A and B are shown apart, each in its own frame.
Chain A
Amino acid sequence: MCTTCGCAADEQYHHHQHDGHAHDRHHTHDDHAGDASKKIQVEEDILARNNRLAAGNRQLFTQKGVFVLNLVSSPGSGKTTILERTLRDLAGRFKFAVIEGDQQTDNDAQRIAATGVPVKQINTGAGCHLDAHMVCHAVEEFDLDSLDILLIENVGNLVCPASFDLGEQHKVVVLSVTEGEDKPLKYPQMFRKADVMLLNKIDLLPYVDFDAERCKEMARRVNPDILIFEVSSRTGEGMEMWYEWLAQGRDRGLGTGDW
């Protein structure tokens, strides 16, 4: 809380939506202290703008009854293949849309488009993550009223996307068994912020030195509440559990907004 005027400094809406009101002078708290002081207490979250836009996205998705997931992982973990399989297997049950985030190319968007699902590609250029502003504009192209589930595939990167809320209901982190099993400890922020972990490519377990139990234990050490599904997007093994979670999550939030 701001100690000068008692306003809640965390309430960015309060400070930025009262244009023209006296309270909009939040940023010149030196007014309280007289002209001598040149210090201005700002007390604003650096990601406040992104967080405001994300909150707006989340409100819109809830109003429209769209279940939104943000898929994050390292490059090459199989996010796009998981999406392709999910979209094909659940085509008759839900109406999907997909946002694809990549630095360059629309290769992934073309793969998604081949499933018949509406897709919007965001090229971040050299940028390392999607942000709420990009998503806010990307969804303008979808008819949200007719959608059940929106899947956002973030840029392949286990670091930066953790800091940028997009307005999703859950982050889903994908880790494949061809990677190091200690990634949850190496990139704890991402595994901490995710609600679900898909341990992918389990069909390859016989061929790699990957201790799945140890990996799951490390993920739970970072985030005891994380839900873990072991899947193979190539063979389809384990995908039913993931679909069940998807269906239940979507149904649970309808009407209640509690996804």
Chain B
Amino acid sequence: MTSRIAYLPCDASTEAILCYSLHESETFGRYIGVRMHELAIAHSIVATCERSADGRKVVEVVLWIGTLSGVVPEAVEFCFDACAKGTLLEGTRLVIERVEAKARCSRCRAEFPVQAYFDPCPLCGALGNEILAGEELRVREIEVE
């Protein structure tokens, strides 16, 4: 079995159909990571939750996605439904909690919110600050039936 698949120049809805149809085939596992890394991440979320659910149906999943994680919540939501189909997570409510990024200044030790890695310290202007929060990519909890 090859891991190749034809590249389809498609819009979002086509991607969902592609995703569903792949899921229904036995070879889905070979196709994870289709087009965007959020699909691989959604697949990973489903696998993690299924292990935790121990055979019970999952009604809610709570995620932490940091603003510096490089992952787009909307894209995860989009891929999640497709990845969850036919699993204990089919129809599950997905709750994404955004974790705002925070850094500590390398010079004056002040803590401050950041939008990006390269934001300087607002007090002293130093660069290269230590990121304290915002890189999270975590399944926090699930609720089962």
A residues whose Cβ falls under 8 Å from a Cβ of B: 27-28, 38-50, 103-104, 123-129, 131, 159-160, 162-164, 185, 188-189, 192, 218, 220-225
Shortest CB-to-CB span from B136 to chain A, Å, is 8
- Closest Cβ neighbor of A159 among chain B residues: B70
Shortest CB-to-CB span from B5 to chain A, Å, is 4
Residues A125 and B47 in contact in the complex (CB < 8 Å), given A40-B143, A159-B37 = no
Q: Which residues of chain A come closer than 8 Å to B117, judged between CB atoms?
A: 188-189, 192, 222-223
Do A128 and B35 touch (CB < 8 A)?
A: yes
Q: Count CB-based A-B contacts (< 8 Å).
A: 125
Do B4 and A44 touch (CB < 8 A)?
A: no
Contact of A46 among B2, B44, B59, B144 (CB under 8 A): B44
The 8 A CB mask of B23-54 against A (1 = contact, 0 = none) is: 00000000111111100110011011101111
- Name the 4 nearest CB pairs between A and B, nearest first: A127-B33, A224-B128, A160-B37, A27-B52
Contact of B33 among A45, A46, A128, A218 (CB under 8 A): A128
Interface size on B, residues (CB 8 A): 45
Q: Which residues of chain B come closer than 8 Å to A164, judged between CB atoms?
A: 37, 40
Q: Which residues of chain B come closer than 8 Å to A42, judged between CB atoms?
A: 48-49, 52, 139-142
- Closest Cβ neighbor of B53 among chain A residues: A40
Shortest CB-to-CB span from A215 to chain B, Å, is 13
Chain B positions 1-16 with a Cβ under 8 Å from a chain A Cβ: 2-8
Shortest CB-to-CB span from A74 to chain B, Å, is 15
Do A41 and B141 touch (CB < 8 A)?
A: yes
Shortest CB-to-CB span from A53 to chain B, Å, is 12
B132 adjacent to chain A (CB < 8 Å): no
